[in-house]
Amino acid sequence: MHTAKPRFLFCQIFLWGNLDMILILKKNATKQQIDTLCHSLKSKGLSLHQSEGEQSHIIGLVGDTKSLDMDSLRANPAVEEVRRISEPYKKANRKFHPQDTIVNCSGVLVGGGNFAVMAGPCSVESPEQITLVAQEVKKAGASILRGGAFKPRTSPYSFQGLRDDGLELLRHARSLTGQPIVTEIMNTEHLPLFEDVDVIQVGARNMQNFELLKELGKLNKPILLKRGLSATLEEFVMSAEYIMAGGNENVILCERGIRTFETSMRNTLDISAVPMLKKMSHLPVIIDPSHAAGLSWMVEPLAMAAIAAGADGLMIEVHNDPANALSDGAQSLTPKQFSALMQRVCPLLTLMEKQLN
């Protein structure tokens, strides 16, 4: 056991290096309580570095602490405070995987300098609508067709999506344009219906549907994970970790605006999430400016900001008749507006040294 004066404690903790967690023990902890705690930690394969000063007794833990339960440690009679030093996510962590991950969406690459635009209507509404929009967004330069078949709506009385028929219409549109499709899953029971979908989207409302994330972790298919309405970035990356822990490392993170005190827009686009997520994780990060703003005229400036901040792609809602859209008309661009946006976006991508796929 090391002994150190309090002022040296933190220098010593620094010198231990590679610490994963620190436990600060209670002043009145008994030797027996401390021994029991140390024994239990060692039995979990952790190595312990102790520092006992006049004011405090600290145990530094090195090893795989990700499955340690912080709450039960806090409840231990010998423990005053628990601090995690390393992040609780490993597979998604850039520290252990410095290179950018490139996710292959049926031939369309996202990440590591590859930029992809996913565009299409909020909801698949009819054969005419989806085939027309699919052709228009392809012509304008989008590489992946989006469209919701199962819709998570705030009101049970709003249009809920065409469901299985919507998926069939997306597959039909893909057969016409050759573009991969991305569409949202809401329920593990629907998984068999998504076998032939190129990219499965997990919507903001399901970001912490852990049972769904675990099932998606068993697939070998790209997952587009959207940030929850009020999720911290660590919670967001932990949700990606759920999918990756199951073996599926093809995860794309999507920032789509968060809830703040601002009411003039549907949500507030968290642009700072792009550089921060890229620092935290090696996974590609895309931006959905449509759901962030909820206003069609804001989509282009936010898309430009996303690219300037280093995003790896965009998801944009496009509708042939936004005024009569069955969902999210106010934020949907017409094909003409989308084409104009693509014209503006391309030079910026060149400037940012991104390859539009």
For position 252 contacting Mn ion by CB under 5 A, the verdict is no
Stretch that binds Mn ion, among 28-36, 56-64, 118-126, 170-178 (CB under 5 A): 118-126
Contact positions vs ligand PEP (CB under 6 A)? 122, 148, 152, 203-205, 226, 256, 288, 291
The residue (of 249 and 328) whose beta carbon lies closer to Mn ion is 328
Q: What is the DSSP letter of 80?
A: E
Comparing C-alpha atoms, which of 89, 348, 114 is closest to residue 240? 89
Helix residue spans in 103-151 (DSSP H): 127-140
- Residue 203 touches which member of Mn ion, ligand PEP, none, C-beta under 5-8 Å by kind: ligand PEP
Q: Among the residues of the chain, which ranges form H helices? A: 6-16, 31-43, 70-74, 127-140, 164-177, 210-216, 233-245, 273-280, 289-293, 296-309, 335-351
Check binding of 118 to Mn ion (CB under 5 A).
no
Angstrom distance (rounded) from CA 160 to CA 182: 17
Residue showing the smallest CB distance to Mn ion in the complex: 122
| Residue 40 token pair | 């239990």
- CB 299 within 8 Å of CB 293: yes
Pick the closer one to Mn ion by CB: 114 or 183: 183
Q: Give 10 or 297: the residue with its C-beta nearer to Mn ion.
A: 297
Binding mask 306-335 for Mn ion (x = CB under 5 A): ----------------------x-------
Q: Which does 163 bind (CB under 5 to 8 A by kind): ligand PEP, Mn ion, none?
A: none
Residues 6+ apart with CB under 8 A from 90: 66, 96, 241
Residue 91's closest CA among 241, 216, 208?
241
Closest to ligand PEP by CB, 9 vs 326, is 326
Per CB under 5 A, which of residues 42..101 are in contact with Mn ion? none
Query: With CB cut-offs between 5 and 8 Å by kind, which of Mn ion, ligand PEP, none does residue 90 bind?
Result: none
Q: Give helix then strand counts, H and E, for the chain.
A: 11, 16
Please identify the residue of the shown chain whose CB is closest to the bound ligand PEP. Answer: 203
Q: Applying CB under 5 A, which residues contact Mn ion?
A: 122, 328
